[in-house]
Structure formats: structure tokens, C-alpha cells
Structure 1
Amino acid sequence: MHIPLRTVDLILVVLYLIGITWFGLRFRKDGERSIKSYFLADRNIPWWAISLSIVAAETSTLTIISVPGIAFTGDFGFLQLVMGYLLGRIVICVLFLPRYFRGELMTAYQLIGQRFGTRLHRLTALLFLVMRAAAEGVRVFAVAIVVGVALGTGDIASIVILSLLTLLYTFEGGMKAVIWTDVLQMLLYVVGTVVSLWSICGHISGGAHTLLSVASSAGKLTVFHFSLSVAQTYTFWAGVVGGCFLTMASHGTDQLMVQRLLAAKNLRESRMALLSSGVVILVQFTLFLFIGAGLFVYYRQLGVAPHVASADRIFPQFIVQQMPVGISGLMIAAILAAAMSNLSAALNSLASTSMVDFYLLRRTNVSEAAKTRLSRLMTLGWAAILLALAIVSRGSGHVLEIGLSIASVLWGGMLGVFLLGTLTERANEKGTMIGLLAGCVLNLLLWRQSSEIHASVLGHDLVFPKVAWTWYVAIGAVVTFGIGYMTSLFSKYERVGSAM
């Protein structure tokens, strides 16, 4: 059910959309310099801005609307995954970042090309494009949930408006516009989150004290689950091990994050940006979970269940229906900020990979002006593709889990390739490609089984035990590494380079 935003709130949302677009366009430069400037902002961004930009890209609308829904229906077990996120960042700082800062790399997959060769270089870049486009389609659709509840616009209209405004400043300003708008947007939605939690406490009889006591007695504040079941999504083991592998893949091999880390002035600042972002993420996720617990207590006191199609819509509905005038508009603007932040990052990283890892591999004698012009056109092309994918991805369920599970199917294989290139000199291109194929196929089968879609070979169902998506990356990486290494030992092809 749609309840229109009040005039003041609507004005705030419109002002935000105009203001952030204007702010992003301020980073446009006439006669754009080079693709290094367009995609890496001349490697002159301070570490703290990159840190906030990482958090903004990692958060997205999925987090703001879905994590409270997870806490509303469950507990604080999601924080176990965040602990793995922190551990994964440490591993990336030790294992991957030093390799990225050797030379003038612009994408993560150039490193694979140096180590293994052109075929694997293009294959990993292609997998990133497929994975990022699929996952981003779900994330862009999440915008429609918020805008639809707040403004009453249809899904397609909501997606188109946000996509076009984000494209405008990303197309013109490049990576510098992406990062600095990220900083502004991240600050906005953190303020909005704190204000939302304050507002929820104001709606609960007894305030914050009642929230804590009722949520605790209902088991909502429980963090640790030591179950050994791989089918259970949020356990200590899935969180620490699965979350660590997930972050190693998402922040260490995915161009969306690696591109930000490469925009730092040097290795030291890149490490500072990544590690500090982990602390911010922990605080931020905790706030989102408290919002979910607060909504649980609020509706329990009312004695009614929220009338929503899914748990992802509970928080947006509360914002529109219950928050004071002005606060609703602020929070809707904050959620839109997260959406635009993530979309701008996706557009820039997809364009950079398309340009550097495909076009420039074939054509080396291209002027800087032509490279920049083509980079902008690729940004425009990917905006159209993501818009189409967002429209066809409309569905139900926890959109955060859907988005992460889609990415996790391929992230495991990708991480396995990077680990083979980093930890061993005996892996070669042919063996690594076979390992990558095996890891991705296994994860795809596990995902299909979990989705209650059974694969069939020779007329017989392939029945796998149900495995939670939090384990996909770890399983895929281990299988890719193991099969890739063993196959390389028996392959007659020589490796291209030494360990990265």
C-alpha cells in the first residue's frame, strides 16, 4: 500500500537528487585528460575518502533495506559475516595489494594477464562483467522498492529516474566524481540511519531501554551460532571462514573495489583505506541490525504484523508512514544516496574493464582523447544494460541475499585463480582455466540445488546437500585452487610468469 510522502519530505528528496547530480558534475573537466584520470582519478585521492567510498559501494540500498529485514525476522547473526569481512581485509593487504602496486595497473585482471597470459586475462575480465552486471541488476531493482513505497511510482519509472541521474555525473566526471559523491552520500545515509534509529526508539513505549530488553528476551540480539550445518546461512564458521573468502574475492579480485584501492596515492594509503573501511562497516551493520530489532519491538507493542509483501519492505514502509515530517524525506534521500553511489561505481568499473581488458588489448595505438571518448561511450552502454537487467530482475525475497548469492557463484572461481597466481609458481594457464571452470560449475550446481532447481545428467537428478550462499566463495576458491594446481602438474604447457 502506498502512502504519499508529505510535501516537505518530497521537496527534500527532489532537492537531494538535484543537488547530488550538480555536485557530481562539478568534477567534469573540459578536454578530459586521460583514461588514467577518468578511471583512477590520477591516483590522487586521500585514503579516508577512498575508505568512505568503499563503504558506500559495499553498502548500497540492499544493505539499508535488507539487513533490518534480516534482523526483524531473525537476529544479529549477520555480524558473524562482518567478522569475516575484517579478517579478509587483512589478508588482502598482505597478499594482493603489494602486487597491484607493482607497475601501472588499471584493473585487477591485468595482473592475471601478466602471470598467466591473454586467454585467462580475458576470461577473468569477462566473468567480472557478467557477475557484476547480474548482481547490479538486482541492486538497481532494490531502488524501486524504496521509491515505489515513498513516491508511488512504478518499478520501471523509479529505476529509470535514478539510473539517468547517476549516469549523468558518472559519464562526465569519471572516478573522481564517483568517489567524492560516494563520500557525501555515505555521510548522508549514516546520518539518516542514526536519525531513523532515534525515531524508532521514540515510537517504542519505554524508548531505547525497552528496545534492548524486549529484543534481548526475544533472542534478537544473539550474535553467535556455532552450528556445524553448512545449510545454515549465519553461523560463526560460515561468518569467519565464508566471510573472509567473500571479502578476499569482493575486495581483492573484483574491479569494483580494486579500482578504488588503485586510486590511492601509494600502497600504504591503500591499506589504510581498506582496513579503516572494515571498522566503519562493522559499526554501520550494527546500526542497521538495531533498526530491524527496533521495528520488531515496535510492531510487537502494536500487536499487529506489518502489511508488507516481504521483510525488505518493512523499513521503507515505516519511514513513510511513521517518521516525522522532514525525517522521512531525509531517510528516503539517504537510501537513494546509497543506490546512486553503488550504481556509479558499477558503471565506472564495468567501463574500465571493458576498455582496458578488451579493447586496448587488441588496439594499442589509440590516442588518449579517443580512449577517453570510448570510455565514456562504454559507460553509457553499460548504463543501458544495467537498466534492462534491473527491469527483468524484479521479484521477491531478500534482495541482499539474492544479490550476494549471484556474485558468490563466480567469486569463488575468481579468487581461486588469484590465489593460484599468488601462492604458487607451478600453476599454468591451462590448468588454472580448468580449475576455474570446475569451481564455477560446482558453485552453480550448489546454487541451483539451493534454489530447488535440480540438475539432471543421463536422466538422474544430481542431488547435493543444501549449502548456504555464505560458503559458495570458499568452496569455489578451494576447488579452483586444488584442481587448477593438480591439473597444472600434468599439463605440458608452461606457465607464463612467476608467482604474482
Structure 2
Amino acid sequence: MEFSLVDYIVILGYLVGVAWLGIRIAGHQSSTSDYFLGGHDIPWWAVLFSVVATETSTLTFISVPAVAYGGDLTFLQITFGYITGRILVSRLFLPAYFKGNLTTAYQFLKQRFGSSMRNAASTTFMVTRLLADGVRLFATAIPLAIILRLGGAFTGWTDFEVYLLAITVISVITLAYTLIGGIKAVVWMDVMQMVVYIGGAIFAGVIMITDLPNGLGGAMTTAAEAGKIHLFDFGFDLSFSEFIAQPYTFFTALVGGAVFSVASHGTDQLIVQRLLTTRNVEDGQRAIVWSGVVVALQFGLFLFIGLLLYAFYDAQTAQELGLATTDEIFAKFIVEELPVGFSGLIVASLFAAAMSSLSSSLNSLASSTTFDLYKPYWGEGNTEAEDLRISRIITTVWALILTGSAFFFAFLQLQEGERPAVVELGLGIASYTYGGLLGAFLLGRLFAGPDIRDALIGFFVGLVSLLFMVEGPIHAVLPGEPLVIAWPLYTLVGSAIVVLTGKLSQWIRKRA
């Protein structure tokens, strides 16, 4: 089955509708408070869904079902850590942010340590978002290219050309409503787009259950017989080096996921900005804690779809189905099994997931650039209108930079010919740098003694130390067998090194 004209009309109508509706919903923006914080008047439940939509990429939609199809449910263990981490953020960080009337997360570091620490953290955030979101934007084009090609579209195009088209369309539409509507447009469009992609996933699941000869019960029996209902893996049979390198054992997922979540939702402007748009600290706490529960339910839904796909395709491997990897299995079902018009709706939902992530990145990067780097040095005497104009210019510049970054990764990926390597590298960048950011925040939040020198020394020692524990090119020049840790532990180890080094620096300074 190929895409019909109706499918293409649905996709085009959705993209145009998103741009128009996003601009209409946002209303008039008269100040940077409106543009970046929504006037502190956005309902907590809308922020909750915006946080979840921001975390959800197109790869989540396509790849999480493939995890269950090719493995089991142990991936879900990490969501227990996510919920735990968000509870800690709600108690440890949010009260300090609201008390200080902050615009960005990194202004806390300025209040505690000074401008140098804020600049270091803010710049690290920007580099992290540039690389990680550049890869994520490029990665968005992968499933879209698969679906469009399976649907018979763009058969004469190269992979690179299809990637450039998808990246450009997503960037232009997202910039349109983000540039004009600011954070209010971003949050409310996130809510709508989450409804679209979750609704699309549920609809696909219902179609599968309807078409299965033995229904839902038969699918679960098939999955159970193949050992796919397995949820908990404690890893007690592994050696220590194997244990710390395995990301989905229970305690690694719980502790690593919790610390990662504390860093991503407590120190990353991408999420903190959303929480600061709520009306008060209690609303922010509700939004962050319940977002963890919704994320767990969302991952559960996508894993459940993977189990249904396993039964639907009679446990065939990707190669037996004529596909390159298991990541293409859900795409195959979308193109070949859904009714006319609904395939287009699912592709539109993939665009929705991509745009919600990109719009959040653009607005958070612009807010951090404006308030952490521009205003303190060049814009102190600006009027609100001048600040708003500069903010929109900065938003546009970041859109161009992120699009260029995605183009670069697309080119690099096709040159190397090993798609998973570059994607995993890009998506792991955030886990790597979060250790330094979280350590700096903990050093300032929990200890009164360390000063700016201790914080900067700890921050950079933490970042450099992780290079020796993350599998990469440095290991090639190290003697012996290098120590490799699983990605959920990057943030835990990195933040611990920052805090310990900062306290050690304080002790040495006092002794001297």
C-alpha cells in the first residue's frame, strides 16, 4: 500500500494548521516576560504536558516499540528513577528558583557564585543543546524518510535530500509560531501535539488488536512465551565491570535515572523555563512530579505497541520482513496497514513530536542567550520593546544554527555509513554534560563554604574526568582495559566528582 493523495493532504493541512493555530493561541507579546515566561500565568497541567512533549522525540515514537519487539520491558525500569528524580527537583530546586524570581536556571549560579559560573553553565547548556538537538532534529528525518519511502514517495531522491527536506519543513513551521508566539505558543502547541501523537499511537494499537486473529489475549500469550513480559532485571549474576556497563539493571536504572532526571529537570533551561511559567511554586511542583508519571505511562504505551507488533508479524525478524532494522517495523505497519488518511495522520504526529522538541529548544536557547549573555553585558539600558525585538532575532539565529547542525550530522552520518553510532553519540551528549551542571548546582545549594574558584575547578574537573569513563576515542590511547560506565551513570559520577572536587578545593584553599 502506498500513501494516497488524502494522506498528503492530511500532512500538509496539519503543518499549516499548526503554524496558524500557534500564532493565534499566543496572542500579543509585549515584553520578554510574556515571550519567555508567558506572564507566569500558564496552568500547571498544560506545563505538565509541555514537559512530556518536550522530552518526546520522533525516535521515541518509532524506536521504543522496537525495544519491546527485539527485547523485553526492562527499559521501563528507568522511568522509576525519572519519577524519583522529579520529586527531588520539586523539593530541592523549584523553591529556590521561584524565591529568587529567576528567568533562567543559571541565574541561581550567578547569585551563589558570580557571573563566571553562570556564564560557564549557560554556555555548556547551549553547546549541549546545539549538539544534542542537532542530532535529534536530524534523527527525526530517519523515520520520516523510512515511512515516506515505504509509502512510495520521493523514490528518486537520495537519503540526504529526503533528510534535508524533512529538517527544513520542521524548522520553518516551528520557527513561525515560536518566533511570533513565544513560550505561550510553545506550551499550548505542545499540549495539542501531544494529544495528536498519543492519539495516533493508541489508534494504531487498536487497529492491531482488531486485526490479530487471537485478539489481545493471544498477543500477550505470544509475548509471554517469548519472555518479553520480563520487567525487572537486578543483574546480580553480572561481574562488577559488566554491572556498571549495563544500563538497564534495576539499581542502575533507578539511581542513574533519578540523578539524570534531577539534572535534566532541575538544571536544564529547556525544562526549568517551562516550570517557571506556572503561577506559583506549588503549581510548578505539581507539573514536574506528575510529568514523571505521564512519561512512565507513555513509555509503557509504546512498549505495549511493540508487543502487539511482535504478535502481529508472528515474531519475524526485521530481515525476514525485508527491513534493515527493528526500528523500521512500526513504520512498516503505519504505511501498509492503516486506512487511507490515517497513515498521513500518524506521519503528522511524527512531525508533532519533532516540532514540540525543537520549539522548546529554540525558546530556551533564546532565553538563556538573552538573559545570561546579552542583557548583562550589552542590554542593561534596553526598553521592553528593544529586549523583545532582540529576543526574536536571537530565536531566528538559533533556528538557523540548529538547522545547520542537523544538516551537518546528516552529512556526517551518510559519509560514515553507520547510523546508530552518530545518533547514540548525539543523544548521549546531554547525559555527559548534565553531570557538571548538576554538580555545580548541588555544590551551591547544599554547601555554604565553596566559592567561585572551587565551583569552576569542580565543574571542569567533572567534565574532563568523564572523558575517561565514557566509551570513545580517548580509550584508544589509554593503557590496559579502560573503565566504561553505562550512560545512566554519567550524570551520577560526573556530579559526584564536581562536588567532591569543589569541597577538596575549598579545604586546600582554607589550609593554604
Coarse TM-score class (shorter-chain normalised): over 0.9
- Give yes or no for the alignment of 1:371 onto 2:369: no
Among 455, 464, 467, the alignment partner of 1:441 is 464
CA deviation after TM superposition for structure 1 residue 302, in Å? 5.8
| Equivalent position of 2:337 in the other structure | 322
CA deviation after TM superposition for structure 1 residue 223, in Å? 1.1
| Equivalent position of 1:454 in the other structure | 475
- Give yes or no for the alignment of 1:348 onto 2:363: yes
Worse-matched range after superposition: 316-325 or 306-315:
306-315
The verdict on how the C-alpha distance between 1:478 and 1:462 changes in structure 2, with shifts beyond 3 A counting, is farther
User: Which residues of 2 match residues 368-447 of structure 1 at below 5 A?
Assistant: 368-394=384-410, 395=413, 396-397=419-420, 401-447=424-470
The verdict on how the C-alpha distance between 1:69 and 1:453 changes in structure 2, with shifts beyond 3 A counting, is farther
Residue deviations 1:140-172, cap 9 Å, x none? 112212321233451111110111110110000
Q: Which residue identity is paired with 2:506?
A: S
Worse-matched range after superposition: 174-183 or 477-486:
477-486
The verdict on how the C-alpha distance between 1:342 and 1:195 changes in structure 2, with shifts beyond 3 A counting, is same
Among 56, 61, 75, the alignment partner of 1:64 is 61
Q: Which residue identity is paired with 1:5?
A: F
Query: How many Å separate the matches in 2 of 1:238 and 1:400?
Result: 22
| Equivalent position of 2:7 in the other structure | 9
Over aligned residue pairs, what C-alpha RMSD do you find?
Answer: 2.0
Q: Which residue identity is paired with 2:493?
A: I
User: Which residues of 2 match residues 56-205 of structure 1 at below 5 A?
Assistant: 56-151=53-148, 152-153=153-154, 154-205=162-213
| Equivalent position of 1:497 in the other structure | none
Worse-matched range after superposition: 395-404 or 72-81:
395-404
- Give yes or no for the alignment of 1:477 onto 2:495: yes
Residue deviations 1:311-354, cap 9 Å, x none? 33322232112222232122111111111011000000000001
Residue deviations 1:343-368, cap 9 Å, x none? 00000000000110001111311111
- Give yes or no for the alignment of 1:332 onto 2:347: yes
Q: Which residue identity is paired with 2:265?
A: H
Match of 2:213, SS state, is coil
| Equivalent position of 1:26 in the other structure | 24
Worse-matched range after superposition: 85-94 or 307-316:
307-316
CA deviation after TM superposition for structure 1 residue 230, in Å? 1.0
CA deviation after TM superposition for structure 1 residue 212, in Å? 0.8
Worse-matched range after superposition: 215-224 or 299-308:
299-308
Query: How many Å separate the matches in 1 of 2:321 and 2:464?
Result: 40
CA deviation after TM superposition for structure 1 residue 455, in Å? 4.9
Query: How many Å separate the matches in 1 of 2:424 and 2:221?
Result: 29
Q: Given that residues 9 and 326 in structure 1 are in contact (C-alpha distance below 8 angstroms), is that contact kept between their aligned partners in structure 2?
A: yes
Q: Given that residues 29 and 173 in structure 1 are in contact (C-alpha distance below 8 angstroms), is that contact kept between their aligned partners in structure 2?
A: yes
> Which residues of structure 2 form unaligned runs of 5+?
155-161, 237-242, 414-418
Worse-matched range after superposition: 428-437 or 75-84:
428-437
The verdict on how the C-alpha distance between 1:463 and 1:442 changes in structure 2, with shifts beyond 3 A counting, is farther
Q: Given that residues 139 and 399 in structure 1 are in contact (C-alpha distance below 8 angstroms), is that contact kept between their aligned partners in structure 2?
A: no
Among 465, 474, 490, the alignment partner of 2:508 is 490
Query: How many Å separate the matches in 2 of 1:353 and 1:237?
Result: 34
Query: How many Å separate the matches in 2 of 1:402 and 1:75?
Result: 24
Q: TM-score, normalised by structure 1?
A: 0.93
Q: Given that residues 312 and 398 in structure 1 are in contact (C-alpha distance below 8 angstroms), is that contact kept between their aligned partners in structure 2?
A: no
| Equivalent position of 1:248 in the other structure | 262
Q: Given that residues 468 and 483 in structure 2 are in contact (C-alpha distance below 8 angstroms), is that contact kept between their aligned partners in structure 1?
A: no
Match of 1:26, SS state, is helix
Query: How many Å separate the matches in 2 of 1:52 and 1:493?
Result: 50
Query: How many Å separate the matches in 1 of 2:289 and 2:398?
Result: 30
CA deviation after TM superposition for structure 1 residue 402, in Å? 4.3
CA deviation after TM superposition for structure 1 residue 453, in Å? 5.6
Q: Given that residues 66 and 398 in structure 1 are in contact (C-alpha distance below 8 angstroms), is that contact kept between their aligned partners in structure 2?
A: no
Q: Which residue identity is paired with 1:408?
A: S
User: Which residues of 2 match residues 270-281 of structure 1 at below 5 A?
Assistant: 270-281=284-295
Q: Given that residues 445 and 455 in structure 1 are in contact (C-alpha distance below 8 angstroms), is that contact kept between their aligned partners in structure 2?
A: no
Residue deviations 1:197-255, cap 9 Å, x none? 11222343312112111111111121111015011121101111000011001110000
Q: Which residue identity is paired with 1:418?
A: F
Match of 1:427, SS state, is coil
Match of 1:454, SS state, is helix
Residue deviations 1:96-138, cap 9 Å, x none? 0000001321000000000001111100000000111111112
Worse-matched range after superposition: 160-169 or 399-408:
399-408
The verdict on how the C-alpha distance between 1:157 and 1:463 changes in structure 2, with shifts beyond 3 A counting, is same
CA deviation after TM superposition for structure 1 residue 403, in Å? 4.4
The verdict on how the C-alpha distance between 1:324 and 1:489 changes in structure 2, with shifts beyond 3 A counting, is same
Identical counterparts, % of pairs: 42
The verdict on how the C-alpha distance between 1:16 and 1:253 changes in structure 2, with shifts beyond 3 A counting, is same
Q: Given that residues 32 and 384 in structure 2 are in contact (C-alpha distance below 8 angstroms), is that contact kept between their aligned partners in structure 1?
A: yes
The verdict on how the C-alpha distance between 1:416 and 1:455 changes in structure 2, with shifts beyond 3 A counting, is farther
Match of 1:93, SS state, is helix
CA deviation after TM superposition for structure 1 residue 276, in Å? 1.4
Query: How many Å separate the matches in 2 of 1:29 and 1:492?
Result: 55
Q: TM-score, normalised by structure 2?
A: 0.91
Aligned length, in residue pairs: 486
Q: Which residue identity is paired with 2:17?
A: G
Match of 2:448, SS state, is coil
Q: Which residue identity is paired with 1:221?
A: I
Query: How many Å separate the matches in 1 of 2:473 and 2:210?
Result: 42
Q: Which residue identity is paired with 1:377?
A: I
Worse-matched range after superposition: 196-205 or 398-407:
398-407
